[in-house]
């Protein structure tokens, strides 16, 4: 079982939600809208949708959104919010690699294909090469010809390795005025292209630990994987404003488009 099956609950979940600012979410949304070329009534796939910080506002704009996530709490929260707000959002709980294709495609309407898809929040880096190729192939099959895919990552080699940090810590302010302390110790395994992060979360008298794994790929390697799936990369951004990516940028946004014909 992959590590992310049992990661997103308790203090890590609380820390993740607290760290996502309204400003960051708005910047994400603007890039999604500007780059994915969709309109009202189009069907979007949100991969690792979380609690719906992108899915819900996109649905308010008129899109029909299907969100997939492994965390039961997130899916329950998104489902409840969509129901209360009467928004066209379908939330599906499960591993994106093993979900029955019919379940996902059924939410895409009569054609069984989505007009666009996106994966934000660095979750694209969870997968070793065979799994990543499988994921990209699934996404390509679920997109209509010409449909676009936007991927966010903080783990492309050109970003993470020039400023590799074996240790880091930061306080996260919670909405109730308390502080959650987040500490990480990283181990880079160059032969595997993987960073193992040993994480400690402290909130008051409570301490929880987790281990996460992120895989590091060069942009050239990612380009090969995307092309093999029929999703050639057409642009790489280094900012949410769409500026061209440069070595050392903290984040990368990869824009791909499904081959037509």
List the CATH number of the domain containing 240. Answer: 3.40.50.150
168 plus 131 within the same structural domain: no
Q: Phi and psi at residue 15, in whole multiples of 5°?
A: -65, -40
- pLDDT attached to residue 175: 83
106 plus 191 within the same structural domain: no
Element of type H or E holding 98 = none
91 plus 104 within the same structural domain: yes
**What residues form DSSP beta bridges with 151?**
119, 254
Q: Which residue stretches of the chain have pLDDT < 70?
A: none
Q: How far is CA 193 from CA 8, 129, 151, 161, 225, in A?
A: 23, 10, 19, 11, 15
- pLDDT attached to residue 65: 97
Cβ(186)–Cβ(196) below 8 Å: yes
176 plus 253 within the same structural domain: no
- pLDDT attached to residue 1: 79
194 plus 90 within the same structural domain: no
114 plus 204 within the same structural domain: no
- pLDDT attached to residue 69: 95
Torsion sign over Cα 136, 137, 141, 146: positive
Q: Which runs of consecutive H residues, i.e. helices, occur in 52-94?
A: 55-60, 72-85
191 plus 137 within the same structural domain: no
146 plus 169 within the same structural domain: no
110 plus 203 within the same structural domain: no
114 plus 224 within the same structural domain: yes
- pLDDT attached to residue 109: 86
Number of domains in the chain: 2
Location of structure tokens 């488009």 = 257
Q: Is the pTM of this model over 0.75?
A: yes
133 plus 167 within the same structural domain: no
- Domain range for residue 206? 162-214
Residue 197 to residue 199: CA distance in whole angstroms: 6
135 plus 202 within the same structural domain: no
- pLDDT attached to residue 110: 82
- pLDDT attached to residue 93: 96
């Amino acid at each position: 079982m992959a590590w992310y099956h049992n990661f997103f609950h308790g203090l890590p979940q609380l820390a993740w939600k607290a760290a996502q600012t309204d400003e960051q979410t708005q910047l994400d949304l603007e890039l999604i809208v500007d780059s994915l070329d969709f309109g009202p009534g189009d069907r979007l796939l949100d991969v690792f949708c979380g609690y719906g910080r992108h899915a819900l506002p996109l649905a308010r704009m008129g899109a029909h959104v299907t969100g997939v996530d492994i965390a039961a709490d997130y899916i329950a929260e998104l489902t409840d919010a969509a129901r209360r707000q009467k928004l066209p959002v379908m939330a599906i709980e499960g591993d994106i690699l093993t979900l029955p294709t019919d379940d996902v495609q059924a939410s895409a309407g009569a054609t069984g294909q989505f007009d666009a898809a996106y994966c934000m929040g660095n979750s694209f880096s969870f997968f070793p090469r065979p799994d990543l190729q499988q994921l990209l192939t699934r996404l390509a099959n679920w997109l209509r010809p010409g449909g676009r895919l936007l991927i966010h990552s903080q783990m492309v080699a050109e970003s993470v390795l020039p400023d590799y940090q074996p240790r880091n810590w930061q306080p996260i302010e919670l909405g109730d005025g308390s502080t959650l302390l987040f500490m990480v110790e990283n181990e880079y395994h160059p032969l595997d292209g993987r960073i193992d992060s040993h994480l400690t979360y402290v909130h008051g008298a409570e301490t929880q630990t987790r281990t996460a794994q992120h895989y590091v790929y060069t942009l050239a390697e990612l380009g090969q994987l995307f092309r093999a799936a029929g999703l050639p990369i057409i642009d790489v951004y280094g900012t949410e404003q769409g500026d061209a990516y440069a070595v050392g940028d903290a984040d990368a946004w990869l824009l791909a488009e499904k081959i037509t014909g």
